[in-house]
Structure 1
């Protein structure tokens, strides 16, 4: 049996919990929009064609800021196609995913959907095939009150009040050769700086996100961030990070330690950003927007050739990973990592929200259900409040093929203003339970208010259309709080959340 001791000191504050850490991502890709959030004719559809059962699940998931409309899709997108009378909107080819885009959902519809879910829009502009003027036009349409051509067009289309979108992404993954209009760091940095400066001339209080590397495995990782920030540092507020993880070659031990790569990603980008800050003698500290992160079995999708090279389907079934308990445990650990580095990671978007590598699945004309990854996200979003506290962890370690030595147990805590505390934990061992002793004397708590466990004897158990409730949260039993010491045992390959009250 593995052992771990934790010390949670209320003075070890990382940052205040910003709800933007629990964002998500909706891209016009596969069935994320069409047959996902939008399905006219479904028994649960509203007047706009949005599935109310999906809205309810998104609200339960607890997502906040929703990045839209891409992703790779945005680099070929003409936002003007998605506004105005639906019967007059053109059908276009989406080169990114070799599909047809009907444009039946555009900014106006998506803004109404976001309002249903209580979400804030994080809008992406096309810097792959468009540029400064197109970004300014979209900003005017979205945010200018009235009295201009585009704001009045928005009013004629049914929305008199501006959307007030604050966060804007300056393109997407412009370092990637798969990206339409991919550029060098110098070319992109120059374009992004010009676009950001112009957008701020139109609206000074925008929060702008510049593209960082598409992954930590890119050959230009680090160099890309340095060059782009040398162009844009004084114009933007965030630099983006994108990271996806999967189990490879049956190496569950390395997969369970995936958060070590995320920590490396955050540390490297933060260091480069701070070096640019020093060189520019700037008073601003660059924040990170981890606006794409998830579990994604990309290797398998590439081998399947599911993206057609000859056909142009509408809303094909693409990237519809079915997630296991192990996948959910890793996702819960990635959330722990984002919280532990919340002093630099100010915003994050789980990619994506429905059907496409998503916590929510739907069947056309049928049900919507929760994947295993739904549970750690929804629980963390609900329970993480107040201030993030990074615990001191002493525990057994194990060897991984990809990341070297890794702690068996990882954890983070939060402490709300009303004295309610939450502890989130993971046992990375593939075979051994972990006995955990936590010193919580400094939190001023006296009782366990809730305790949840995500675990199954089969770490590859999944929720499917046939078995939608095969996996779920269960009570974590035998959690004892006595005289400021919390003791519990976690089974192997498990994630847990514990609430503590005064």
Structure 2
């Protein structure tokens, strides 16, 4: 049996964790909104038409921020279509996903929903077909107290107090040829810089996210970041990253090593951002917003069969299996390893569309396999990210070399006097003995060892059958300053310790 060792100490601090790395995303796409978070005819809908069963699951995840309304959809979206009396709102051809958008749900409804979900709003603006004027009007509508045309219109719509939306994305994936209003790096950089400047004149307290390249395989990456940040560095606080993974070759060992690809992506963007910082002689360090990430490949073939110009039909409805949950755990571990620079992240998406939560229209809701590592990280991963010194056996795959079988992150919550070890055994055939030496944690005791495992890497959860779920009686023991446990093959583990004052 293989063995991995690590050393954990309070002084090995990476950074305070920004809780917004556990954010998510709702786009007007498929059944994310209609039939997902909003279904007035559902027997469990509240007075606003929000599904209460979905709200409870979102609260269980403790999602701190949710990006809205897109995504690809935002690049041809007129935000004014989604405000005011529903009966006056226009139906539009939504060009990104080729559906009909009814606009029965819009900005104010989302702000109401986010409040009920205990989440903040990350709002995206259209820099595809629109620009500076629409952006400044939008933030005036949402954030200005009153006494002007757009702020008084919000008050007329029933919202006396401003929404005070703090975080704004300056467009979405603007280098993508699939994007309505695709831009060159120069075109986007200049437009985003000027739109951001106008928005800050309306509300100086906002945070802005400069649009990064659509993904690492784009021919524009990473030159896009270098060129656009030349223009947006002074106005933006973050640069965005997007990444999706899939096991298309059915090579599970290679699939579970994709955290290495994520590490490379993050390191590259940090390098480019810091180059622009040096070039500008700036004292500001740009942070990263990983505002789209997930597994996405199961639904690709089904989506090709969808008829255009329908309303809220199923799209991008990946039914996740057990190995997808393991990779999601690895992604979250990677974010924690980079807590000094990754300050926001949004699992794309939250309900039905490549999501941890699934629903039936007028029916049940349930937890997909990926729900669990996301929930564990969000609930238990608050505090300071510590840097463990890891000595793990390694493996090679067709795409990666020297991959640690033990993928791990450690979080110390000093206020609650809690220590959490997240540990993924990437080995799909063998258990892994883990020995963790803890420095400076005298008096701590194990509270629980949560394990997510299954013999079938392809096992899925459904509305009526839930085979993939965690249990809380793992075998970790803590003695003489050392945690010892056997991590089951291909398993996600959460080991929680707390200071016991005897």
TM-score surpassing 0.5?
Answer: yes
Partner of 1:265: 265
The 5-angstrom pairing of residues 141-180 of structure 1 reads 141-180=141-180
d(CA) in 2 for partners of 1:263 and 1:392? Answer: 17
Q: Deviation per CA, 1:381-440, whole angstroms, max 9, x where unpaired?
A: 111122110211101101111122211011011111232100001001111110000001
The partner residue of 1:399 within 381, 384, 396 is 396
The 5-angstrom pairing of residues 53-452 of structure 1 reads 53-297=53-297, 301=300, 305-308=304-307, 311-417=308-414, 418-452=416-450
Deviation at 1:476, TM superposition (A): 4.1
Partner of 1:31: 31
Say whether the 8 Å CA contact 2:44–2:52 is kept in structure 1. yes
d(CA) in 2 for partners of 1:108 and 1:48? Answer: 11
| Aligned CA distance change for structure 1 residues 347 and 445 (closer, same or farther; 3 Å) | farther
Helix, strand or coil: the match of 1:44?
A: coil
Helix, strand or coil: the match of 2:142?
A: helix
Say whether the 8 Å CA contact 1:142–1:165 is kept in structure 2. yes
Say whether the 8 Å CA contact 1:420–1:445 is kept in structure 2. no
Q: Deviation per CA, 1:348-402, whole angstroms, max 9, x where unpaired?
A: 1010000000000000111111001001111111111221102111011011111
d(CA) in 2 for partners of 1:383 and 1:479? Answer: 17
Give the unaligned 5+ runs of structure 2. Answer: none
Q: Deviation per CA, 1:250-307, whole angstroms, max 9, x where unpaired?
A: 1111110111111111100000000110010000001000000011117x51575134
Say whether the 8 Å CA contact 1:456–1:471 is kept in structure 2. yes
Helix, strand or coil: the match of 2:440?
A: helix
d(CA) in 1 for partners of 2:317 and 2:80? Answer: 29
Helix, strand or coil: the match of 2:319?
A: coil
Say whether the 8 Å CA contact 2:303–2:315 is kept in structure 1. no
CA RMSD of aligned residues (A): 1.1
d(CA) in 2 for partners of 1:357 and 1:96? Answer: 17
Say whether the 8 Å CA contact 1:445–1:484 is kept in structure 2. no
Say whether the 8 Å CA contact 1:393–1:410 is kept in structure 2. no
d(CA) in 2 for partners of 1:160 and 1:186? Answer: 39
d(CA) in 2 for partners of 1:296 and 1:444? Answer: 43
| Aligned CA distance change for structure 1 residues 464 and 227 (closer, same or farther; 3 Å) | same
Partner of 2:45: 45
d(CA) in 2 for partners of 1:280 and 1:307? Answer: 48
Deviation at 1:229, TM superposition (A): 0.4
d(CA) in 1 for partners of 2:234 and 2:303? Answer: 44
Report how many aligned residue pairs link the two structures. Answer: 498
d(CA) in 2 for partners of 1:111 and 1:251? Answer: 42
d(CA) in 1 for partners of 2:287 and 2:495? Answer: 29
Give the unaligned 5+ runs of structure 1. Answer: none
Deviation at 1:491, TM superposition (A): 1.2
Scaled by the length of structure 1, the TM-score of the pair is: 0.98
Deviation at 1:65, TM superposition (A): 0.7
d(CA) in 1 for partners of 2:403 and 2:476? Answer: 25
Partner of 1:458: 456
d(CA) in 2 for partners of 1:407 and 1:476? Answer: 25
d(CA) in 1 for partners of 2:327 and 2:333? Answer: 10
Helix, strand or coil: the match of 2:40?
A: coil
Moved >6 Å (runs of 4+): none
Say whether the 8 Å CA contact 1:32–1:355 is kept in structure 2. yes
d(CA) in 2 for partners of 1:215 and 1:306? Answer: 25
d(CA) in 1 for partners of 2:162 and 2:303? Answer: 43
| Aligned CA distance change for structure 1 residues 304 and 235 (closer, same or farther; 3 Å) | closer
d(CA) in 2 for partners of 1:386 and 1:33? Answer: 32
Q: Does 1:473 align with 2:470?
A: yes
d(CA) in 2 for partners of 1:90 and 1:215? Answer: 33
Say whether the 8 Å CA contact 2:37–2:55 is kept in structure 1. yes
Say whether the 8 Å CA contact 2:448–2:474 is kept in structure 1. no
Say whether the 8 Å CA contact 1:128–1:174 is kept in structure 2. yes
